[in-house]
């Protein structure tokens, strides 16, 4: 299988152009390639396919093999892949996802390759049933939620996938997300599980966050999560409409245009390496899988 490993702010995925090759069992393939010991190592698998309604289609799988609706960091890398691999010569493209069609504006570096991407992420959704959230009110905005015996206050937002944003005084850098994250992800309030962002407000233009993603665990960045954080911060009156969000893997710029109810995200997209890997007849990966890496 020919692949590219790419990352946006450290949120890394394996990318495969399925217009040129077939992936017979993408769920198990995602689990195999994501393994950081016996596979390639990633937060999941993203397939780039043709589309009848957009320029391209993004099909996303988390590292546990579950299907994801949308990934903000992932879609930026899709934009870089299709341009750098000469699948398009356009610098404004559309990409079909399970969360709708997204428009990407590509910025080229001095080498003629894509260096960063601005994405129209669409409108945030606050209606509890649409997120979905099992909650007695129409919206969950700064509402109490008890998790593992501790009371938090959270704002639920969908950016095509469900998010719970927790603003807190405690420095997020000292949290043990591996302990608390799974309890949020599988909380009974969220029937389709949830991505959870823990956030410090530094000032009205700067935030710091860590994220526990459903199906992947803690990742270095989450694009849809950063957009949800911006939306929640504005809804709670904590920040201006344009903010820089510090994640473990880098900084994303997010703008919430309240007039159009649209969120725009801008950030880097980077190719780490490309290569070929022999995908086993999908069973448990073994240590002697042959991985051949080609230099860029």
How would you write 127-179 as a 3-class SS string? EHHHCCCCCCCCECCCEEEEECCEEEEEEEEECCCEEEEEECCCCHHHCCHHH
The stretch 263-290 carries a mean pLDDT of: 78
Count CB atoms within 10 A of the CB of residue 164: 28
pLDDT over 80 (residue 292): no
Higher pLDDT, 282 or 88: 88
The stretch 147-154 carries a mean pLDDT of: 96
Confidence band for 282, pLDDT divided at 50, 70 and 90:
low
pLDDT at 295: 30
pLDDT at 43: 95
Active site residues: 71, 222
Higher pLDDT, 291 or 40: 40
% of the chain beyond a pLDDT of 90 = 92
pTM of the model: 0.87
pLDDT at 24: 84
- Distance, in Å, from the CA atom of 226 to the CA atom of 140, rounded to the nearest integer, reads 18
Q: DSSP readout, the chain?
A: -EEEEEEETTEEEEEEETTTS--S-HHHHHHHHH-TTTS---SEEEEEE--SSSSEEEEEEETTS-EES--HHHHHHHHHHHHHTTS---SEEEEEETTEEEEEEEEE-TTSSEEEEEEE----B-BGGGTT---SSSB-SSEEEEETTEEEEEEEEESSSEEEEEE-SS-GGG--HHHHHHHHHT-TT-TT--EEEEEEEEETTEEEEEEEETTTEEES--HHHHHHHHHHHHHTT-S-SEEEEEETTEEEEEEEETTTTEEEEEEE-EEEEEEEE---SSSS--TT--EEEEP-
Sign of CA dihedral 252, 220, 218, 150: negative
What pLDDT, in 10s, does the model give residues 156-209?
999 999 999 999 999 999 999 999 999 999 999 999 999 999 999 999 999 999
pLDDT over 80 (residue 67): yes
- Distance, in Å, from the CA atom of 162 to the CA atom of 160, rounded to the nearest integer, reads 7
Q: Are 93 and 60 in contact (CB under 8 A)?
A: no
pLDDT at 283: 45
Average pLDDT, the chain: 93
pLDDT at 285: 40
What pLDDT, in 10s, does the model give residues 72-113?
999 999 999 999 999 999 999 999 999 999 999 999 999 999
Q: What long-range pairs does 128-132 form, CB within 8 A, spacing at least 24?
A: 128/156, 130/158, 131/156, 131/157, 131/158, 131/162, 131/190, 132/162, 132/190, 132/191, 132/192
pLDDT at 280: 82
% of the chain beyond a pLDDT of 70 = 95
pLDDT at 136: 95
């Amino acid at each position: 299988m020919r692949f590219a490993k790419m990352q946006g702010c450290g949120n890394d995925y394996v990318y495969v152009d399925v217009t040129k090759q077939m992936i017979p069992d993408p769920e198990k393939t995602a689990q195999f390639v994501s393994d950081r010991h016996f596979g390639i190592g990633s937060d999941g698998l993203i397939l780039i396919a043709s589309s009848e309604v957009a320029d391209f289609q993004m099909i996303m799988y988390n590292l546990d093999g579950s299907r994801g609706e949308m990934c903000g960091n992932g879609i930026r890398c899709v934009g870089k892949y299709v341009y750098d691999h000469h699948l398009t010569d356009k610098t404004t493209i559309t990409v079909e996802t399970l969360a709708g069609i997204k428009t990407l504006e590509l910025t080229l570096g001095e080498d003629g390759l894509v260096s960063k991407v601005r994405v129209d992420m669409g409108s945030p959704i606050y209606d509890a049933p649409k997120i979905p959230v099992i909650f007695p009110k129409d919206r969950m905005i700064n509402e109490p939620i008890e998790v593992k015996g501790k009371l938090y206050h959270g704002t639920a937002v969908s950016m095509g996938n469900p998010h719970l944003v927790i603003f807190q005084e405690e420095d997020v850098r000292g949290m043990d997300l591996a302990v608390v994250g799974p309890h949020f992800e599988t909380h009974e309030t969220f029937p389709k599980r949830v991505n959870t962002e823990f956030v410090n407000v530094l000032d009205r233009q700067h935030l710091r966050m860590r994220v526990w993603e459903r199906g992947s665990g803690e990742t270095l960045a989450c694009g849809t999560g950063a957009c949800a954080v911006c939306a929640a911060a504005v809804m709670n009156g904590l920040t201006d409409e344009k903010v820089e969000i510090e994640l473990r893997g880098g900084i994303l710029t997010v703008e919430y245009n309240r007039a159009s109810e649209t969120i725009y995200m801008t950030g880097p997209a980077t190719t780490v390496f490309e290569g070929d890997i022999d995908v086993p007849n999908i069973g448990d990966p073994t240590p002697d899988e042959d991985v051949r890496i080609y230099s860029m």
